Structure 1
Amino acid sequence: MKKITLFHGTSEKIVVPTYGLGEKKHDYGMGFYLTGNIDLAKEWAVCKPNVTNGWVHQYELDTDDLKILNFQEKDVLSWLAELMKHRDAADSKRYRMLSKRFIDKYGIDTSGYDVIKGWRANASYFYIAKEFVRDNIDIDILEELLSLGGLGIQYCIKSELAYSKLQEVKEGLLSVDYTEFREKYNQRDISARQRMRELVDSDANKVTKVFSTLL
């Protein structure tokens, strides 16, 4: 039995992971989202501007017999295609038309997986995504840009089997101070955006192999 420890940051003290629930517009669609990084979980617990302390719930996931799709092992374009299925990076007609073609070309069928593992599309990601679909970013610097964003790795529990193998560690429940970790969340985003803009404006961004040329 191979168990991994994961954390879920939220404003709720009581959480019951339930198959079939979750937001369709989250990164990987409906599911229950966790991370292996407790510090990121603390930031995510207070990422909503509602001025309240948050909670980090600790879980153990038995990964035996689970099919896990790891986007870190795939092309970054496949990850972007998965996000395009669920998240709106831009609301223009051009984007709606081109994103469908992009998904058809680079998307992965995720329906057979129990768990999806990959980067989390935080606020700074949307800056990259919008510039990318506007043809302002060369594919050669895309992966480096995403690494600058400090996008944490998350796990999305998708299947009924995966939910059955997820158990909360009750004594692992932690209270999260809003002021301290909201500031850390904001500083991470501000710093990431500054580094990203510097790279986008640098000579490394050739702006030749751009979004529309990949279709």
Structure 2
Amino acid sequence: MILYHGSNVEVQHPNLIKANRTLDFGNGFYTTTNKEQAYKWAQIKKKRENNENGYISIYEVSEDILDNKDLNIIVFSEASKEWLEFVINNRMNVDYKHSYDIIKGPVADDRVYACLNAFENKFMDMDTAIRELKTYELADQISFHSEKAIGILEFINSEVV
């Protein structure tokens, strides 16, 4: 399986770095199977860091990575109540910690954030939020949260974007 990581630098050797902001699945190294999504991440990071270029780093992992019994893995196959609660916990509760090595699920983009804000501010209930989220075509993200998990990534190449 090919995975992409968008950034303002080429990342040949991924590291677990504590983010200076809250992320959908907590601190970790984020990838996607969707090259267009990685491009968006690279553009955002390039602008945030005031860099001239963005980079898409490309990795290969085994097709059965999500079946690895040696790792603690959770897969959210769609925007669901469980996914929404998990994302909100990671984004809103600074003390929230999980023990997953790898997490796969939908990306919470700007439209999703608007929906999350409406839910958090009690303008819509959980069922309405989930119904709304299911109408969006969401890219995926696969995040790595342990050194053991990151060690699975095999760097192939990068592209300047």
Query: Normalised by the size of structure 2, how large is the TM-score?
Result: 0.78
Higher relative contact order, chain-length normalized (CA < 8 Å, sep 6+): 2
Q: Give 1:133 shift.
A: 2.1
Query: Matches of 1:52 and 1:123 in 2, distance apart?
Result: 24
1:119 to 106, 109, 112: 106
Provide the rounded CA distance (Å) in 1 between the counterparts of 2:26 and 2:83. Answer: 13
Q: CA RMSD in A?
A: 2.7
What amino acid is aligned across from residue 44 of structure 2 in structure 1? C
1:158 paired with 2:145, answer: yes
Shift of 1:15: 4.5
Whether the aligned pair in 2 keeps the contact of 1:22 and 1:32 (CA below 8 Å) is: no
- d(CA) in 2 for partners of 1:14 and 1:167? 11
Please give the per-residue CA displacement for 1:86-125, whole angstroms capped at 9, x wherever unaligned: 214xxxxxxx8xxx9xx9xxxxx841x3200111222222
Matches within 5 A, 1:23-42: 23=19, 25-42=22-39
**Corresponding residue number in structure 2 for 1:60:** 60
Equivalent position of 2:159 in the other structure: 174
Q: What is the one-letter code of the residue matched to 1:18?
A: N
Matches of 1:164 and 1:51 in 2, distance apart? Answer: 28
In structure 2, do the counterparts of structure 1 residues 14 and 33 end up closer, same or farther at CA, with 3 Å as the change threshold? closer
Q: Say if 1:137 and 1:70 are closer, same or farther in 2 by CA, change over 3 A.
A: same
Unaligned runs of 5+ in 1: 89-95, 104-108, 177-215
Q: Aligned residues: percent identity?
A: 30
CA deviations over 1:15-59 (Å, ceiling 9, x no partner): 53124x231621111110000011111121102434733111111
Aligned partners of 2:42 and 2:56 also within 8 Å: yes
Task: Describe the shift of the 1:139–1:86 C-alpha distance in structure 2 as closer, same or farther (beyond 3 A).
Answer: closer
- Distance in 1 separating the partners of 2:145 and 2:98: 10
Which structure shows the higher helix fraction?
A: 1
Taking a change above 3 Å as real, the CA distance of residues 27 and 140 of structure 1, as seen in their structure-2 partners, is closer
Is 1:7–1:57's contact at 8 Å kept on the other side of the alignment? yes
What SS does the aligned partner of 2:61 have? strand
How many residues get paired? Answer: 151
Amino acid at match of 1:174: E
Identify which of 69, 73, 80 aligns with 2:74.
Answer: 69
TM-aligned CA deviation for residue 61 of structure 1: 2.2
Q: Would the aligned equivalents of 1:69 and 1:110 in 2 still touch at CA under 8 Å?
A: no
Larger Rg: 1
Amino acid corresponding to residue 156 of structure 1 in structure 2: S
CA distance in 1, matches of 2:55, 2:116: 30
| Partner residue of 1:80 out of 73, 77, 84 | 84
